[in-house]
Structure 1
Amino acid sequence: MSRIPDYAHNLSLKMSQVMDGIGVNEKIVMKKRRSMLLKESLYTLTDQLLGKDRNVFIFGSQIEVTTTLGLQSDEDCLISLNKYNVIQDWSEWEYGKHNFLMIQDENVSPGYCLLQILRDDAPLPLVVETDDNTYRDRMGRILLKNTFFNVGPNVYVVRHGPAHTNHAVSGVRDADFVPAFPCQLRPVQARHWLNQQREEHWPTKDMIQYCKNKECFVVGVGKTGSVNEILEWRISTSLPERCLMFNLNITQIRCYVFMKMILKTFITQRFPDSISSFMCKTVLFHCISYTRSDTWKENTLLTCLSFCLSTLYSCVQNEYCPHFFITQNNLMSGRFSPESKPLILDTLRYVIESDGRALLEIKCDNIDKYLQSSLNGVVPIHPHFIPTLIAGPLLKDTVRDISSIFKFLLSEMNDLSPRLAMQKLLTFMSYHHNENYTNIDRKTYRLITRYLCNTLGSILASFNIYQQDHLTYKKALSFMSLGLDTDVASGKLKLASVLYCAGDIQRTEFILKHIEECYDLSVVEPICGCYSFNNYSRRDKFTGLCYESNEECRLFKHITASCVRFIRCEINCCPLELQHEMFRSTQEDLAYRGELDNWMDMAVVDSLPYLYFLQYKTYSRLGRQDDKQRALSNIARTIDVEPNLGHRETALNLLGQCMEEEYNVENAFKYYARSLQIRRRNNSAKVHICKLLNKLINN
C-alpha cells in the first residue's frame, strides 16, 4: 500500500468529501453514538426501576454509525437477562440464579457452546428433564435447547435466527430484540486473542484490556447444518466488537460504509445469503490489524477500500473468514454454492480492478451523482445539508424515546390510588445507582427524575385540591419546580394546570405568558412519544441548532415541546374539559386497542394547543374578551397548520368544548366530527356529541 498513484489520492479526497456530505463525518458519528447510548441507558434504567433484572444493549450499524439514510439499517437490541448465569467453572455458581455450565468440546461448532442446566439450590447438575426445552444427551447431561426464547403470537414480532424483530409499525425503525444470557467469563475459544500483548498495532493493549473486562453473551441460535443445531448457543462478542468500532477513525468508518454500499449494489440483490455486512466488518478488523494506523487517511480511502475488497476476495476464494475474536469460527463455512461462488468472485474482481469507476454505479444515497459532480469540479452538495437533516430527526427521536419511556412509567401508576402512586414515584426517585453506572446512566436518571418530580407534585396538588390542605399544596409546588425544564412547555403547563384548578388565576396567567414567550414557533418542535406516526421536520432553525450543538440534552428544554399527560390520580388538577380523555374508551373500543395504547387511559394533549386552551379558560375567568378570542383563534390555527401534533383529535375536542362555551353549536359539531375522522375509536368526541345532542333536544 506504499505506492499510491496521484489519481488515487485525488479520488480518495473526493470520496471523503461525498461521505462527509451524506453525514458520515465525525460530528454526526458522535451525535448518533451519544443518542444511541442514551437510549440504551433509558431502556435499561426503566427495566431496573420496574424491578426487571436485565440490561439492554444496542448493537449494529445504528450505534456504530456505519449506516446512511440510503442503507436503511435496522437497530439491534440485545436484552441481557441477569437472573441467568452462564459459567465455565463450578466455582462461579451463584445461589438464587438459574445457572448453566458452558460446554465447549470437539463436538460443538467453533463460536458456539452447549448449556448444561444446573440446580438452583446447589452447585450440582440437574438430573431430570423438566419440559420440552430440555434434552438429555448420551452422557446424561440435561441441556437447554435454543428454542427456549421462542416467542408467542404477536402481530409485530417475527422470529429470525435468535432475534425477535419488530416489523410493519408505522414510523418506527425495524428493530431486532435478541434475548441473551450474560457470560461473565471469557469463552475458551477467545482466550488466545484476549491474551495478546500489542504495544503499537491495532487493537492496542488498552483496547484488549477493555475487551477483557466486558461481558459476552450467549444467544439462542445454533450453527446451521450442525448435528447439534437445536442445542447449540452462539457466543456473542458484541460488546468487545462495539469497543473496536468506537475506536475506528473516520476513514475506517467510511471504508466500511463503502463496503456495505458495494455489497448492496453488486452482491446482495443477486446473492442475498452470501456475503454479510458482519463479514465485511470482520475483514475490516483484520485489515486494520495488518496495517499501520497512519495508513488510514482521507487521501488513502480508495487504496484502503481496495485492500479490504482484495482481502474479502481472498476470503471468498478460500471460503475462509475467521471470526476476529474466535478465530476457529469460520464465518464463510458452507456459505457459497458452486454456482454462486464464481459469479461473486467475478463481481468482486470487477469492482477491485475498476480503480474506483465502479463507485459511479452506486445509487445508494446518490453516491454516483455526488461523486461524478465532485470529479467534475462541482460541489455536489452543501456540506451541512444532509448532516443537518440527520441531526434534527435524531434529536427528535431521542426526545421521543424519553417521552415514550415516561409514558410507560406513568402507565404503571394510572390505576393506582394517589397514595400508592406517590409511593411508587418515591421508590423510583430513591433508586440507588449501581457502581457500574456510567456518566450517561447518571444523566439518564436525572432526566427521568425531573419528569417524575413533576408528576409527583401534580398528584400531591390533586390530593390537596380535593382535601384543601395548604401544607401539601406548598410541597406539591416545590416538587413541580424540579421538573419545569424538561422541555419548553410541558412541565410548566402542568404547573399552570395546577394553579388554574386551584383557583390561582393571576399566577396561571403569569406562567402561561412566560411559556408563550419561550415557545418560538419558528424553532420549537412538538414531540409525542405516545404512539408512532409520520413526523415531519419542517423548521430549518430547529435542524440547524440540532446540528451545531454538541450537547443535545441541553437543547431539550429550549427547542422541543412534549405532550402533557395526566394520569387518573391527577384528575383534580386537570381541567374538566380534558378529564373526558381519561375515559375515552367504551367497552367495545377496548377491543380495538393495541398493547402500546395504554396512554389512552390518561388525559394527553399536545403542548401548544393546550397552552392556548388554558389561556382561553384563564382569560375567560378574568373577563378579558379580546385575549380570550385571540387564544381561541390560536387553537384553531395550530390544529390546521401544525403537522406534528400527536393528539390532534384531543385538541379538536377541546376546541369543540370552547365553541360550546361560546354558544356556537354548529362549529362545536364540526370540530367533534373532525376529531372522529382522525380517530374513529377510543375518542371522547362521541361523548361530547351525545351530550350536545341531549342539550339541544331537552332545550
Structure 2
Amino acid sequence: MDHIPRLSEAVYVGLCRKIGSPTEVRMRREVTDTEEVVRQSVKIMKGFDRMMSGSRREGFRLVASDHDCMFWLPGHKVICYLSQVSLYRIPRHTVILMESDDLPPGFTRLNLMSPSNDVKVRSSCVAINNSVYISSTLFRDNHLLFLRTWNFASLSNPHAPCVHCVFCFRSHHWPAKALPWIQRCRQQGWPSEVVISDILSAGFHVVPIGSTPESSQEWRISFSCAEQKLVYAMNRCQFLCYGLFKTFLKEVINFHDNLPVLCSYFTKTAVLWVIQTNNFLTWTPENLLPCFWECFKLHVLIHWVFTGECPTFLFHSIICSDIN
C-alpha cells in the first residue's frame, strides 16, 4: 500500500493540468461571477433575472462542461408559508404559495395567490378546487415557444433540473423540509457557518419538472445556487476528486453508452455526502485516490442508479445512515 500516496500525488498533478491550477479555477469563478453581475444590469432578456449554473460556473472547463442559465421574473415571489404574504406588496408583487402535501419529497405545487401581469404565467394557470395553480407543463411549453421565437439554440430539457436554459421561479425563503440540512451541517462541521448563512440568504428555485411526465402540476425544488456555493466551499483535493469523478464518468462509465447509467449530478451529490459525513477521510494530495474510492463505492450510489433518482443533498437526510 506504500505506492498509494505516490500514485495519488501523481494523479493529483495530472488533474491540476487537466482541470486547472488553483489560480486558474479561482479566476474562472471570479470572471463568471463578475459576468453575472454585469449581465444582471444589462438584462439580456427584458424583465428577467438570471443565474448561471452548471460545471462551467463551478470552475471546470472540461469538454463536456455544461453552461446552464436559470431565468425568473423578479416580481414573482414564492413563499413557503401563508403568513409570508405580508412581506410583499400586492399588486407590485405576484405572490405564489408552495403546497407540498401528498407530493413526493422535493416537489411542490404552486398556488397563485395574487394576479400576475405576465402573459406566459397567466396562460399557464389552471383552476383546481376554487384555487388557481401554475401548471409546470404549460409553463414549460409556453417558455419553450418563447425561446424558439427568440431563436435560442439551447432549450430546456424536461428530464433534468437545469440544462442549458430554464425558466423558473425564485424564493428568498427556506423550505421547512430542508431545515434538517442546517442542523446536519452544524453537527458535521461542514460547510462553515459563513457558507450556511450565504446559502440561506440566497434561497432556492422551483423549476417546471414533475416527478413523472404526467405530473403536470408538480414543480421540482432546486438548490442549484446552494450546490454551487458548496462546490466553492470544497478544498483543493475535494474539488479535484469531484473533477476526477466527472472525468471517470465521462471517459469510462458512460463512454460507450447512448443512455448513460450515471449523470454528473449523481457524482456531485455523492462527493458532497462523503465530504460531510465521512470524518475519517483526509483530503490531501497523497490521499486523493482513497478519497475518490470512498465516493465511488458509496452504497446508495447503486440504489440511485437502479431507481434513476438521486435525492437532493440539501433536501434529504434519510440516506445519512447508509453512507457510513
CA 1:135–1:200 in 2, change beyond 3 Å: closer, same or farther? closer
Query: How many residue pairs end up in the alignment?
Result: 300
Q: Which residue of the partner structure matches residue 87 of structure 1?
A: 79
Q: Return the offset for 1:26.
A: 0.5
Q: Whose Rg is larger?
A: 1
AA aligned opposite 1:279: F
1:274 positional shift: 2.7
The equivalent residue for 2:157 is 160
Deviation of residue 207 (structure 1)?
A: 2.4
Q: Which residue identity is paired with 2:312?
A: H
Q: Which has the higher contact order (CA 8 A, sep 6+)?
A: 2
Rounded Cα–Cα distance in structure 1 between residues aligned with 2:161 and 2:277: 36
2:319 aligned with 1:325: no
2:132 is matched with: 142
CA 1:104–1:134: 2 relative to 1, 3 Å: same
TM score, norm. by length of structure 1: 0.40
1:513-662 aligned within 5 A: none
The alpha-carbon deviation at position 282 of structure 1 amounts to 0.4
* Pairing 1:213–2:233 present: no
Q: Please name the residue that 1:119 is paired with.
A: 114
d(CA) in 1 for partners of 2:107, 2:278: 30
Tell me how far apart the structure 1 counterparts of residues 76 and 278 of structure 2 sit (CA, whole Å).
40
Q: How far does residue 116 in structure 1 lie from its aligned partner after superposition?
A: 0.8
**How do 1:85-484 residues align onto structure 2 when only pairs under 5 Å count?**
85-93=77-85, 94=88, 95=90, 96-106=92-102, 108-120=103-115, 133-137=124-128, 139-146=129-136, 147-149=138-140, 150-152=143-145, 153-154=148-149, 155=151, 156-161=153-158, 176-196=164-184, 198=186, 201-225=189-213, 229-268=215-254, 269-270=256-257, 272-292=259-279, 295-311=282-298, 314-317=300-303, 319=306, 321-327=310-316
Counterpart of 1:63? 57
Question: What SS does structure 1 have at the residue aligned with 2:197?
Answer: helix
Report the CA distance shift for 1:231/1:328 in structure 2 as closer, same or farther (over 3 A).
farther
1:65-118, CA deviations, whole angstroms, 9 ceiling, x for partnerless residues? Answer: 2442xx331201112320111112233223112221110112x12111100112
Gaps in structure 1 of 5+ consecutive residues = 122-129, 166-174, 331-699
Residue 92 of structure 1 aligns with an amino acid whose one-letter code is Q
Aligned to 1:577: none
Q: Check whether the contact 1:66–1:254 (CA below 8 A) recurs between aligned residues.
A: no
Q: Secondary structure at the match of 2:77?
A: strand
Helix, strand or coil: the match of 1:38?
helix
Superposed CA deviations along residues 400-444 of structure 1, whole A, max 9, x for unmatched, are: xxxxxxxxxxxxxxxxxxxxxxxxxxxxxxxxxxxxxxxxxxxxx
Distance 2:279 2:98 in 1: 37
Deviation at 1:287, TM superposition (A): 0.3
Q: 1:288 to 1:163 in 2, by over 3 A?
A: closer
Q: C-alpha separation between the residues in 2 aligned to 1:303 and 1:164?
A: 30
Structure with more strand by fraction: 2
How many Å apart are 1:194 and its aligned residue? Answer: 2.4
Q: Is the 8 A contact 2:161 2:220 kept in 1?
A: no
Alignment root-mean-square deviation, CA: 2.8
2:181 and 2:317 in contact (8 A); partners too: no
Give the superposition deviation at 1:267: 2.5
Shift of 1:201: 2.5
Change over 3 Å in CA distance of 1:30–1:62 after alignment to 2: same
| Residues in 2 aligned to 1:17 and 1:117: alpha-carbon distance in whole angstroms | 53
Question: In structure 2, do the counterparts of structure 1 residues 64 and 164 end up closer, same or farther at CA, with 3 Å as the change threshold?
Answer: closer
Is the Cα contact below 8 Å between 1:207 and 1:243 reproduced in 2? yes
Alpha-carbon contact 1:56-1:80 (below 8 Å) kept: yes
CA contact 1:110–1:328 (8 Å) conserved in 2: no
Judging by fraction of residues, say which structure has more helix: 1
Aligned residue for 1:83, secondary structure, equals strand
1:30 lines up with 2:26 in the alignment: yes
> What is the SS of the residue equivalent to 1:13?
helix
SS in 2 for 1:160: coil
Counterpart code for 1:135: V
Q: Name the aligned partner's letter for residue 144 of structure 2.
A: V
Identity across the alignment (%): 23
| Counterpart pick for 1:10 among 2, 6, 11 | 6
Q: Give 1:563's aligned residue.
A: none
CA deviation after TM superposition for structure 1 residue 273, in Å: 4.3
Aligned equivalent of 2:67, options 57, 71, 75: 75
Secondary structure of the 1:110 match is: coil
* Structure 2: unaligned runs, 5 residues or longer: 320-324
**Corresponding residue for residue 622 of structure 1:** none
Give the CA deviation at 1:136. Answer: 2.6
